[in-house]
Structure 1
């Protein structure tokens, strides 16, 4: 009996799987992608959130924030841009490397590369683990180096598929410090660790820990803290909580306060942010809390800022002169109105925001690989 080519390939795949081999397509589809790991604020404006895979001029954007538009939204958006830009640094090399043929290694491992990019030589390894959980690691060494000892771990992660390509439950870690060590021209620093969970093709829940993290310290102050966020597929509604320094409108000088922001957005309607701020121009043992909302075009329709001796006790708060814009009744949806509700804590918790589709697994504590 003669087999046609399709049957032969199918039989080979069955035999490969039965013998413990790794299917190249399945391995590649078990890598994370940008849509599944990036944090989103406004799904109608992905480029503004840094969700488009394009370079962002962080210095130019930051310079335009002070007093312009919905400043509390833009302050949070700068942190989202910085995080998404770092994810791009890890995921673009993955996408390029898997276009090449893989070399099989013992232990159900596929290796792609090495391949030179603009600033370093990269190598990707993917391992098939137990229960269809795939693990991967991205290593880099200086350009023109031929020494395998020179490789440093720049990113790693794992994903247990739920059936859809690049979707399931997993982790991703990234060391900008290690990338800079092999490519001194790279501007970033710090570490990013995250956990993610997908629910269907579009809903996602995300948690991140940042350690002295910035894509460029010359344009964006380093952040140590936690971010969380989610997106609901059916409605496009997003929520996020981020921490970062920026100058609050209504404070005495241009000094940057540390601001913890809880942001929610309804596509086609508008959104709201509630903040808790300290440091900068804010006196010790005092904090500022505030709220703002905007319409579908992100035009600010309401804002207020309060100075508090205890942010959890409204009776201790007084309104900051000149901070009020409009009234909360102008917010474009009932669920976006109401009293100032600042986020709790100091920005180190990875507790999901309300309305999430489910919590991801624990966030890794450091940048390490499973193999």
Structure 2
């Protein structure tokens, strides 16, 4: 197995066979890649879920949430795209650094770089740990600096392989705050911590913790909470649960509500979202719940919202006027039909969604290196 072409084509080919007590290729293949760590909704539309974000993308996505399309899907997708863009901020420099030869250091350590990129100078350090559990850290300092004390920790993680390259169980943590400290033009802020577990044939289970996280605060409200998701292979079925702020259709103003969404997608069939929302134009001591489903072209065929009072049963909630589109029977298959089943809580639960192939370890609570 090789890294995604855009991230690491030929990375292992230019390395020497060994540096000290660490095999270069084994070290490179024990680093995470984007395919194994990214969150997905519709695996048939990777450009929608995985494309790198710019501020304009976010504004266009938010502007599109006007009730005409699958708004619940697009609201969740906006959060997924922001998260995946942050993963690229760490994984692209890692992939570029390992295309060069490493310097061997005592203690089964390899050092790649330093290497200048557009906004900073990066250095990658990889250590072979116990039972071939590899640990790594990515550091950055301002462009033009020659001061080694100016390096700040941008990302760190660990991976214990299960045999395939870049696959196994591990962690990854990214500090957008530290990257911004050395590259002031960078727009992101906050921290992203995650754990992952791979289960063969491309199946994966993921858990993320976000702290004041946004790729661009002028276009995307910062999020603190938990995201989870998984992908099953060979079916390609995905599930995810994400938290974000956007304006729900059929609310009084453009104020953003906090929205916790559980979303699933079945290839060749379509998908469904169930949500719980509060804040914004939703009155105090009340919340919204809702469901929507879409066909394989992501055309919305059903949607409904209900307003509920804190402490009340869902059966006593009141339908939001004008929110209903179609009927739940229009959803493309029995797996996508059924009553509204909103996620519980306020978005800090990192337990996996139903049907996951096996939960990952607990996600880190901060961005720290193990060595």
Normalising by the smaller structure, the TM-score range is: over 0.9
- In the alignment, what sits opposite 1:330? 330
Deviates more, 1:161-170 or 1:315-324: 315-324
Question: Equivalent residue for 1:149?
Answer: 149
Offset, 1:360 = 0.1
**Residues 203 and 357 of structure 1 are in contact (CA less than 8 Å); yes or no, is this contact kept in structure 2?**
yes
Does the 8 A contact of 2:226 with 2:242 survive in 1?
yes
Q: Which residue of 1 aligns with 2:162?
A: 162
Pair 1:83-2:83 in alignment: yes
Q: Which residue of 1 aligns with 2:270?
A: 270
Which whole-Å CA distance do the structure 1 matches of 2:155 and 2:314 have between them?
A: 44
Residue 340 of structure 1 is matched in structure 2 by 340
Q: Structure 2 matches for 1:33-44, cutoff 5 A?
A: 33-44=33-44
Distance in 1 of aligned mates of 2:311 and 2:322: 20
What is the TM-score with the length of structure 2 in the denominator?
0.93
Q: 5 Å matches for 1:204-243?
A: 204-243=204-243
CA deviation vs aligned residue, 1:203-225 (integer Å, no higher than 9, x gap): 00000000000001011110000
- Taking the aligned partners of 2:63 and 2:24, their CA distance within structure 1 comes to 46
Change (3 A) 1:254 1:54: closer
Residues 298-309 of structure 1: pairs in structure 2 closer than 5 A: 298-309=298-309
Shift of 1:311: 7.0
The aligned residue for residue 7 of structure 1 is none
Which digits, 9 at most, give the CA deviation of each residue in 1:4-61, with x for residues without a partner? xxxxxxxx97xx79xx710000000000000000000000101111x24576722222
The answer for the alignment partner of 2:8 in structure 1 is none
Asked if structure 2 preserves the Cα contact closer than 8 Å seen for 1:310 and 1:317, the reply is no
User: Which residue number corresponds to residue 286 of structure 1?
Assistant: 286
2:120 is equivalent to residue 105 of structure 1: no
- Kept in 2, the 8 Å contact 1:188–1:216? The answer is yes
The answer on whether the counterparts of 2:51 and 2:85 sit within 8 Å (CA) in structure 1 is no
Q: Is the 8 A contact 1:288 1:311 kept in 2?
A: no
- The aligned residue for residue 21 of structure 1 is 21
Q: Equivalent residue of 2:170, what SS?
A: strand
The equivalent of 1:187 in structure 2 is 187
Partner of 2:245: 245
Q: Given the superposition, is the C-alpha separation of residues 55 and 123 from structure 1 closer, same or farther in structure 2, using an over 3 Å criterion?
A: same
SS in 1 for 2:178: helix
Which runs of 5 or more residues in structure 1 are unaligned? 1-11
Q: C-alpha root-mean-square deviation of aligned residues, in Å?
A: 1.5
Task: Provide the aligned length of Structure 1 versus Structure 2.
Answer: 355
Contact 1:287–1:311 (8 Å) recurs in 2: no
Aligned equivalent of 1:178: 178
Answer whether contact 1:306 1:320 (CA < 8 A) is retained: yes
Q: Tell which structure's C-alpha radius of gyration is larger.
A: 1
1:306-321 map, 5 Å: 306-310=306-310, 313-321=313-321
How is 1:117-156 mapped onto 2 (pairs within 5 angstroms)? 117-156=117-156
Equivalent residues of 1:141, 1:182 under 8 A apart: yes
CA distance in 2, matches of 1:312, 1:270: 32
2:309, 2:255 → 1: CA distance? Answer: 20
CA deviation profile, 1:165-192 (whole Å, cap 9, x unmatched): 0000000000000000000000000000
Partner in structure 1 of residue 13 of structure 2: none
Partner of 2:74: 74
| Inter-partner Cα distance in structure 2 for 1:55 and 1:78 | 12
Task: Output the CA distance in 1 between the equivalents of 2:240 and 2:185.
Answer: 32
TM-score when scaled to structure 1?
Answer: 0.93
Partner of 1:9: none
